[in-house]
Each structure stands twice: as C-alpha cells, then as structure tokens.
C-alpha cells in the first residue's frame, strides 16, 4: 500500500519505462491514478470520487464485501487445482446450470474469456471435423492468437484475414445495409450469413462454427434485430457448424430482461456453446464455457485430457458462487431493468434535444449512444465523442467510446449503478453538449438537413477551442 503515496507523475514515469506502450491507458493525455474502488465508484490518489459507467468487470460493484469475504475465507482454507475432488466446483456448475437451458449441461472452468473462446473453437472443430469460422464484422473475441484470427477488430490491423475465416455484415439496423426502415432486417442480415457460407463452400471450405457476441459490444453496442440469431443458427447448422454465443460482456443479468443476452431470441433458441468471463468473478480471474453432452463427448473422444491449473480452483468457484448470491439477494437483474429503462428514456430525451445524438439503443445496463455529424449520412462524430468523454472525465464521470468510428458512447456500468447515477450522467451530458453546440461549428451544422449525397465535411479541428 505504500506505493499509493507515490506521486502520480512518478507512477506514470515508471509505467512508461517498464511497460510496453501498447498497454494503453484510459485518457492518455491526462491519466487517472485509481487506488480504490467501492460499488460504482472509483477513487484517485487525491481521494476524488469518479462515477464508473463502463466497468462491466466489477459486475456487482467494485470490492463487493460478500465477494471479497468469500475469496478471503476460502483462501484461508485451501486453494489448489481442480484435479482434487472439491465441493465448490460442482456447486458452482450446478448453480450455473440452473440459469441455462437444460441442453447446456457440461461445464469447463478457465481463467479468462479469451481462454473460454479458444476452448470453444477447439470443441467446435473437434465435434464438426471442420476448420472454418464465420464471424461478424468488427467483432472481438479475445487476445489469444487463435482469437485474434477471428476478430476483425484486431486482424485488420495485423496479419490480415485468414482463408478459414469468413466475415458477415454486422446486423446493425442504424448504420448497416439493412436499416430500421427495412421490412425484415433479421432475415436480410441472416441471408448475408447464408451467402457467406455458400461462398466458402464453393471454395471447398467447411464451417465449424459461427461466433458472435449475443449483443456485439466492441462493434458499437449493437442490438441485433429479433429473429436474426435463430435464422443464422439454422444456416450454420445446415452447413454442419455450431453456434457459439459469446456472453463475456453481456451475460449474468446485465440486459435485465433475461439472465443471458442470447435469451432475447426467445425460449426456443439454444446455442451449442456459451462462453462467459469478466463479470462472473467480479474482477477475479475466472471464466467458464458451457456446452451440450454431444459436443463434450466428441472432445473427450480424442483421449486428450483438458487441464487448466487454476481453472475451477476452490477460491475462484467460491468467488463465482458469491457473485451469483449477490445477484440474487440484491435483485440486480431487476435493478438493471429499472435503471436501464430510466437511462434509455432520458438519453432518448437528449436525442430529441441534441442533433449530434443520432441513435440511442440498448437493453438493461448495456446501452450505446451513437454520435453523428450529419443526420442523413450518419457520419460518425469521432472527434466530438472523444472530446465529450474527456469533458465527462473532468466532471468525474468515466465513460468511453467504441464502434468502428469510435463514436459510440458505451454504458456498461457495475450493476449497482443507480437511478441517481443515471440522472447525474444525463445532466452532465446535456450540459456539455449544450456548450459544444454553442461553441463548435461542427455541431451547429447538425441542425441543417442535408440533401442525399451531400456530405458535411466540417469537423472538430481545434478541440482546445471548445
């Protein structure tokens, strides 16, 4: 704890000397030194309180006492690998099974969401005997080499697209080819996946799996049209592949209406594999992959054991059980529904007031605000979004951007985020946007309706003048 007294500038200098510059900081122009967290708040070395709107890792709140106590008590007794018989791992698997469709009855425990997705890829390939994967544009599924290869968000800036990876359009009804005025966007986007599969098969390729976040996050807080995933699953399974639902950022009650985001598709929709991470340990490194008996048996048939030294250890499972307890006792899923509805409603009111807000979308405590330069062309307001996030930080509110244009304000706060918090954020957002509209010409031009084909090319060139 002595390092907490170290001056911020000294800490920053040490980081720059000892860590790679690729390990980036939030707000690199003026980083925040965080030394403590509690609930939905973070505190810097000066004791200043920041409202955390983005940390979905601290799912039930930073340093939740029940979770901390569970880890501490189990640490006092035993922490070892899962090759020994222990109650915690089977208790945790049982509790997780109660939240999922009965077909998803076999569990593998790991340390991170990346490990879970990597294992899902291995199981899909073993079960199908196929190699290829279909993913959504701008998707991100983890930092392992196998997952960089299926993450357009990453591979387009690295080695490029592998021949066994096939990219389908993001089912974005605000920016994509099939928008809110399309009579059946779910079918249209699903047919794009069908076309991608057919094109691959014409080249002699065989599909092992379709990977997708149940609500694409890095892609810009996207809400796929209802029925899309069900139709995609039909196309994928017809091609011999499996449907993998990546719930790492959106599961565990975050969407409010359901415990899992894939359940937005309805009770009849069941993925073949579900991966989870981040939120399930509230910051403790624990993750899980759930699948069917048939898929698991195919993997077991190789005769090669799956062993993960720390996956499913007694402390991790004690933490996981505690998170489930807190979700239930504090009714955080219902809380996410109520607070999320309030936040969506008030952000939508801001959309009516501020033309820079092109779209507000989300469910529960998973919400995106799409900032635009032009109402007709929906040109991403990238610089404005960056500036807005910086100004919010000056007001002790931590928010960030996502999406291909880095223009989507993303809300994924700890589940204890309150109505008062939502009201406070919206009020500050209103103040800053009002100030921007008064001083920045790029925002003023949003008030003008541009004829089709005519693009407004003004932008925020001098951020210091705002």
Q: How many angstroms separate the CA atoms of 314 and 95, rounded?
A: 15
| pLDDT attached to residue 233 | 98
Q: Please report the pLDDT score of residue 29 as a whole number.
A: 87
d(CA 221, CA 205) in angstroms, rounded, equals 31
Res 445 pLDDT > 80 = no
CA separation for the pair 115, 248 (Å, rounded): 11
Note the pLDDT of residue 158: 86
Mean residue pLDDT of the chain comes to 93
- Cα separation of 440 and 383, whole Å? 12
pLDDT per position as a tens digit, 425-434: 999 999 999 9
Q: Name the band, by pLDDT with cuts 50, 70 and 90, for residue 160.
A: confident
* 239 or 22, higher pLDDT: 239
pLDDT for the residue 177: 96
pLDDT(454) > 50: no
For residue 207, what are the contacts with CB-CB under 8 A and spacing of at least 6?
Answer: 128, 130, 132, 133, 134, 166, 197, 200, 201, 236, 239, 240, 241
Residue 27 has pLDDT above 60, yes or no: yes
pLDDT category at 442 given cuts 50, 70, 90 is low
CATH 3.20.20.100 fits 65-329, yes or no: no
CA max distance for the chain: 70
Higher per-residue confidence, 451 vs 362: 362
Give Cα separations from 294 to 275, 298, 299, 343 (angstroms): 17, 6, 9, 42
pLDDT for 91 beyond 60: yes
Closest CA to 100 of 240, 285, 290: 290
Q: Is the pLDDT of residue 401 over 50?
A: yes
- Asked if pLDDT for residue 455 goes beyond 60, the answer is no
pLDDT at position 451: 43
DSSP string, 166-231: EEEPP--TTTSSS-TTSS-HHHHHHHHHHHHHHHHHHTT--EEEEEEESS-STTTS--PPTTHHHH
Average pLDDT over residues 409-413: 97
2-60+332-447 CATH: 3.90.1150.10
Q: Is the pLDDT of residue 457 over 70?
A: no
Contacting residues for 144 by C-beta, under 8 A, at least 6 apart:
114, 115, 117, 118
- What percent of the chain lies above the pLDDT cut of 90? 88
Give the whole-number percent of the chain exceeding pLDDT 70: 93
Q: Which uninterrupted H or E stretch holds 340?
A: helix 332-353
Residue 465 pLDDT class (50, 70, 90 cuts): very low
**Mean pLDDT calculated for residue range 311-315:** 96
The predicted pLDDT at position 464 comes to 30
**Residue 440 confidence (pLDDT):** 66
pTM attached to this predicted model: 0.92
- Mean pLDDT in residue range 371-381: 94
SS3 294: helix
Residue environment code for 182-193, b if the CB has 16+ CB neighbours within 10 A, otherwise e: eeebbbbbbebb
Task: List, for residues 185-225, the tens digit of each pLDDT value.
Answer: 999 999 999 999 999 999 999 999 999 999 999 999 999 99
Q: Which residue has the tokens 């190789």?
A: 302
pLDDT at 227 over 50: yes
pLDDT class of 322 with cuts at 50, 70, 90: very high
Q: Look at residue 219 in the predicted model and tell me its pLDDT.
A: 94
Q: Structural domain boundaries of the chain?
A: 2-60+332-447, 65-329
User: What confidence tier does 2 reach under pLDDT thresholds 50, 70, 90?
Assistant: low
Q: Is the confidence at residue 63, as pLDDT, over 90?
A: yes
Q: Read off the pLDDT of each residue in 355-380 and give the average, rounded to a whole number.
A: 96
**Region 19-36 average pLDDT:** 92
Dist CA 236 CA 234 (whole Å): 6
Residue 156's pLDDT band, with cuts at 50, 70 and 90, is confident
pLDDT band, residue 441 (cuts 50/70/90): low
């Amino acid at each position: 704890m002595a390092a907490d007294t170290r001056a911020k500038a000294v800490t920053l200098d040490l980081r720059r000397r000892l860590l790679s510059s690729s390990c980036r900081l939030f707000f690199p122009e003026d980083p925040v030194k965080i030394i403590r967290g509690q609930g939905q708040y973070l505190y810097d070395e000066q004791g200043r309180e920041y409202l955390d709107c983005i940390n979905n890792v601290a799912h039930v709140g930073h340093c939740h006492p029940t979770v901390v106590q569970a880890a501490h008590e189990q640490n006092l007794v035993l922490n070892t690998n899962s090759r020994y018989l222990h109650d915690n791992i089977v208790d945790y698997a049982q509790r997780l099974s109660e939240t999922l469709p009965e077909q998803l009855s076999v569990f593998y425990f790991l340390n991170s969401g990346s490990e879970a997705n990597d294992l899902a890829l291995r199981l899909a390939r073993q079960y199908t005997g196929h190699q290829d994967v279909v993913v959504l544009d701008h998707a991100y599924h983890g930092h392992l080499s196998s997952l960089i290869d299926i993450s357009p968000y990453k591979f387009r800036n690295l080695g490029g697209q592998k021949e066994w990876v096939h990219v389908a359009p993001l089912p974005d009804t605000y920016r994509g080819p099939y928008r809110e005025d399309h009579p059946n966007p779910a079918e249209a986007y699903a047919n794009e996946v069908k076309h991608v599969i057919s094109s691959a098969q014409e080249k002699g390729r065989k599909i092992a799996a379709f990977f997708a976040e149940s609500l694409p996050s890095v892609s810009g807080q996207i809400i796929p049209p209802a029925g899309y995933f069900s139709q995609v699953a039909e196309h994928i399974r017809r091609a011999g592949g499996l449907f993998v639902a990546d719930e790492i950022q959106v599961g565990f009650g975050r969407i409010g209406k359901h415990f899992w985001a894939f359940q937005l598709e309805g009770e009849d929709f069941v993925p073949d594999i579900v991966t989870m991470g981040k939120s399930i340990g509230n910051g403790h490194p624990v993750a899980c992959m759930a699948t069917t008996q048939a898929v698991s048996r195919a993997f077991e048939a190789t005769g090669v054991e799956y062993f993960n030294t720390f996956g499913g250890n007694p402390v991790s499972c004690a933490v996981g059980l505690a998170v489930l307890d807190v979700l239930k006792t504090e009714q955080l899923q219902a809380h996410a529904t109520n607070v999320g509805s309030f936040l969506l409603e008030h952000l939508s009111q801001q959309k009516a007031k501020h033309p820079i807000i092109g779209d507000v979308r989300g469910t529960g405590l998973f919400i995106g605000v799409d900032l635009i330069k032009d109402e007709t062309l929906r040109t991403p307001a990238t610089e404005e979004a960056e500036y807005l996030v910086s100004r919010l930080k000056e007001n002790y509110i931590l928010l960030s951007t996502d999406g291909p244009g880095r223009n989507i304000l993303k809300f994924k706060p700890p589940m204890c985020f309150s109505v008062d918090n939502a009201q406070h954020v919206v009020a500050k957002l209103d103040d800053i946007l009002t100030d921007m509209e008064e001083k920045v010409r790029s925002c003023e031009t949003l008030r003008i309706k541009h004829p089709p084909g005519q693009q407004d090319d003004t932008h925020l060139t001098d951020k210091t003048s705002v």
